[in-house]
Amino acid sequence: MTRPPASAGRAAGPIFASVTDRDPHPPSTSPDDAPTRPPPSVSEVVQAFEERRIVGSSLSHREHVMIGWHYARTRPAPQALAELARGIQELAVALGKDGLYHETLTWAWFALIRERVERVGTEASWEEFATASEDLLSGAAIAALYDRETLDSPLARRVFLLPGREADGQ
C-alpha cells in the first residue's frame, strides 16, 4: 500500500485538544498591532491550568504547548500525560465546554512535545524550546501525521489513534 503525499488530506493549521478557540493574535499585539499585554509567563500559564482557569480570555495553542513542555520536563512521561489529559478535561468542564477533549490530539501532541524536549535539551528555557519548535507552535507537526477526516472522527476523540490509522467512520 502506498502512502499519500504528506500534504494530501492532512489537517491544516494549529490543532490541539483545545478548550477555547485559537487566539488569532499573539498576546502582545492586537489586530491593529497596538501593544496590549505582555505574554503570560510559563509559571502563570501552568498555575492557571492547574487551578483549572485560564490567563486572559482564551487558552491559546501556544499556551497548550507551553503546559505540555512544562509537564514533559518536570514529570515522568506517563504521569505527565495522565495529569495533562485530566487537566484538559477538567478545564474544559470548568469553562462549560465538557465535550471538547480529544484523546488522539492530546496524546499525539504530548508525544511530539516530549520528544522535542529531549532533542532540544531538558534544561532549555521555554524561549529556546519555542525557537526550536516552530512546527509544534504552528501545528505543522500534527498536520503532517494525521488527516482531517481521522481527527474529526468520534473514535479519534475517544481513544488515541496512531498516525496512519483510519477511524473507519467510527
Tens digit of pLDDT for each residue in 5-57? 444 444 434 444 444 333 333 444 445 555 567 889 999 999 999 999 999 88
- Which residues touch 73 (CB under 8 Å, ≥6 apart)? 117, 122
Number of domains the chain is built from: 1
When pLDDT is averaged across residues 48-76 and rounded to a whole number, the result is: 95
pLDDT at 59 over 70: yes
Q: For the segment 129-170, what is each residue's pLDDT rounded down to a tens digit? A: 999 999 999 999 999 999 999 999 999 999 999 998 776 655
Tell me if residue 147 falls in helix, strand or coil.
Answer: strand
The total of other beta-carbon atoms located within 10 Å of residue 130's CB is 17
| Helical spans, DSSP H, in the chain | 42-50, 61-74, 77-94, 103-120, 126-131, 134-138, 140-143, 148-151, 154-158
Query: What H or E segment, with its residue span, contains residue 18?
Result: none
Residue 8 CB contacts under 8 Å (≥ 6 apart), including other chains: 147
In a domain, 76, yes or no: yes
What is the pLDDT at residue 168?
A: 65
In a domain, 30, yes or no: no
Paired residues of 29 in beta bridges: 35
Specify if 24 maps to a domain: no
| Assigned domain for 1 exists | no
Domain limits at 71? 42-158
Is 14 domain-assigned? no
Q: Which residues contact 62 (CB under 8 A, 6 or more apart)?
A: 26, 130, 137
Would you say residue 165 lies in a domain? no
pLDDT confidence tier of residue 96, bands split at 50, 70 and 90: very high
Does 99 fall in a domain? yes
94 versus 16: the higher-pLDDT residue is 94
**pLDDT at res. 58:** 85
Look at residue 169 in the predicted model and tell me its pLDDT.
Answer: 54
Q: What is the pLDDT of residue 127?
A: 97
